[in-house]
């Protein structure tokens, strides 16, 4: 199973979530970016109709494949605000 990880990070004078090297729009606050990332991650869990899809990889090559509507990735949201801090900092100690 594929795992999709959204990371909330400082971006463009505010906060954004990113997947790989792609950033979302900038949000004014960390809380807004974190909520948006959680919403997007939850939407990844919703199944849909099976369909033929095309997508472009990181090298610019296009691929065609059949996607099962119920085959959804595992998702996670990583809060970049706490990622590099000691565990006690994230617990408010």
Q: What confidence tens digit (pLDDT) does each residue in 36-54 have? A: 999 999 998 887 888 898 9
Report the C-alpha gap between 40 and 4 in whole angstroms: 11
Residue from 2, 32, 3 nearest 17 by CA: 32
pLDDT reading at 88 higher than 60: no
- 10-13: long-range contacts at Cβ-Cβ below 8 A with a sequence spacing of 24 or more? 10/80
Place 84 in a pLDDT band, splitting at 50, 70 and 90: low
Q: Is the pTM of this model over 0.85?
A: no
Torsion sign over Cα 11, 8, 72, 61: positive
What value does the mean pLDDT take over residues 32-36? Answer: 97
Q: Which residue has the higher pLDDT, 21 or 88?
A: 21
């Amino acid at each position: 199973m594929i795992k999709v990880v959204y990371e909330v990070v400082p971006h463009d004078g505010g906060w954004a979530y990113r997947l790989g090297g792609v950033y979302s729009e900038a949000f004014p606050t960390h809380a807004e970016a974190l909520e948006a990332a959680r919403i997007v991650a939850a939407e990844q869990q919703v199944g849909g109709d099976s369909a033929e899809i095309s997508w472009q990889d990181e090298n610019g090559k296009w691929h065609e494949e059949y996607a099962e509507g119920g085959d959804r990735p595992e998702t996670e949201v990583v809060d970049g605000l706490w990622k590099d801090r000691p565990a006690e900092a994230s617990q408010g100690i």
